[in-house]
Amino acid sequence: MFIFDSILFIMYTNVFAHRGYKLVAPENTLPSFQAALNYPVNGLEMDLQMTADGELVIIHDEKIDRTSNGSGFVKDKTLSELKKLDFGSWFSKKFKNVRILTFEEYLDWLYSIDYDRMLLIELKTDHFDYPGIEKKVLQIIKKFSAAKWQIVLQSFNPKTIHNLRNLDPEIPLARLSFVIGPRCLFGYFFGRIQQINLSSRFLLNRLIFYSFKKARLTPWVVNRQSYLKKAFKFHLKAIITDQLDSATFLREQIQGINK
């Protein structure tokens, strides 16, 4: 059974924390994920890139310039080189010397706190093709087979989705896209993917969300108050948002439940 089929999830809208709580702490870092869990979110969303020595690290951008005191591409740095950099000071002096997380460190932490919600994990292969990233992700996930969380893997890259499905016929997959295309629909209707996650910025997509509420469509990134209110009034299955305070408050006000 796919996770979004449970009756609990149908009753109210799941809220996913986009890169943790990136409005109060540096995105995709431990403080950001910790901050997100202070709210009744249903899942954490994060991004994976691969280092020069084949390690999986949690960072959104292909380059480290925006979110660290270093420069260059993740793919050209070893894990040791990245671990020496400050990934917090760009956001605030309060987070000076926050280090980049590996995927395994992230799951270790979640396991240590008995995390039992959802994980939405994006493989960032839409700009660079990281050979073998799919196998590495699945191998690390399998190390935590006793964990209580539920995982959905997602990517913009159809090749990545194809590789993941061939490696694991059972793991839930989502295709990220700006618009619904034939490949998305084919994958969805033939069970290659279980979900399509679409940008909320386009009017056509918003009309699709509200018209096909029973479909497994998740909008990103839903931040405007008006969009949040409408998502909860229409009881969409899930949203991905930066606005955790507003989103969880509005969900309680409109749907009468917050877990």
Active-site choice (18, 127, 162, 235)? 18
Question: What is the DSSP code (8-state) at residue 76?
Answer: G
Residue 162 annotated as catalytic:
no
Rounded Cα–Cα distance for residues 7 and 87 (Å): 40
- DSSP code of residue 101: P
The gap between the terminal CA atoms of the chain, to the nearest Å, is: 21
C-alpha 180/C-alpha 226 separation (Å) is 23
Distant-in-sequence, close-in-space partners of 244: CB < 8 Å, separation ≥ 6: 15, 17, 21, 23, 36, 39, 41
Say how far apart CA 246 and CA 254 lie, in whole Å: 12
Q: Which residue has the tokens 């020496």?
A: 84
| Residue among 84, 71, 77 nearest 53 (CA) | 77
- With a CB cutoff of 8 Å and minimum separation 6, the contacts of 210 are 230, 234, 236
Catalytic center residues: 18, 60
